Amino acid sequence: MTDISSAPDSLESAVTELLRATGLLLRRLRAESNPSELTWSESMVLGRLERSGWMTAADLARAELVKPQSMGTTLAGLEQQGLVQRRPHPTDGRQVLFGLTDAGAATRRGRALLKHRWIAAAIGRLTPDERRTLIAAAALFKRLAES
């Protein structure tokens, strides 16, 4: 089942095409993004905190598939912008809990998608069937990433 060598050529080209297309989409998104707005990583963290509530940096790192040190950098940036705040863990003195500030929650509600206005418009132009394909693919991506 997991033996790639027995897979048909179409699998190899599917992988190649998927990676190439994903890379191109990412570059396009970067080109369309506005430097004055939240970065990609920052948006991901705000969204995670909105959905999951207070979390430690280590848990955030695990959820977002980055190293704790990298998450620390992202959190420091968000903290400096006043979008997340910290509070001590009630029982474990090593841990620090991070959560949204009011400003962070407001940003999340009101402006989180501004950065992705271009992709939202582009997806809006697709047919309902094509949109369904994207939604299904997103679920598959998530499964692949977390498998």
Partner DNA sequence: TATTGTTATACTCTATAACTATA
Partner DNA sequence: TATAGTTATAGAGTATAACAATA
Pairing of β 96-100 and β 84-88 = antiparallel
**Closer residue to a second copy (CB): 95 or 133:** 133
**Closer residue to a second copy (CB): 76 or 135:** 135
**142 contributes a contact to DNA by CB under 7 A:** no
Applying CB under 8 A, which of residues 23, 53, 82, 88 lies at the interface with a second copy?
A: 23
**106 contributes a contact to a second copy by CB under 8 A:** no
Q: Give residue 88's region: left, alpha or beta (phi > 0; psi -120 to 50).
A: beta
Output 26-34 pairs: Cβ under 8 A, ≥24 positions apart: 29/116, 29/118, 29/119, 32/118, 32/119, 33/115, 34/114, 34/115
What does the per-residue mask of binding to DNA show for 15-54, with x meaning CB under 7 A?
--------x---x--xx---x---xxxx------------
**99 contributes a contact to DNA by CB under 7 A:** no
**Closer residue to DNA (CB): 13 or 22:** 22
Could you tell me the smallest distance in angstroms from the CB atom of residue 84 to a second copy?
Answer: 18
Whole-angstrom distance, CA of residue 94 vs CA of residue 82:
23
Tokens found for residue 52: 């999951």
Whole-angstrom distance, CA of residue 66 vs CA of residue 27:
20
Residues contributing to the site for DNA (CB under 7 A): 23, 27, 30-31, 35, 39-42, 56-59, 65-70, 72-76, 89, 91-97
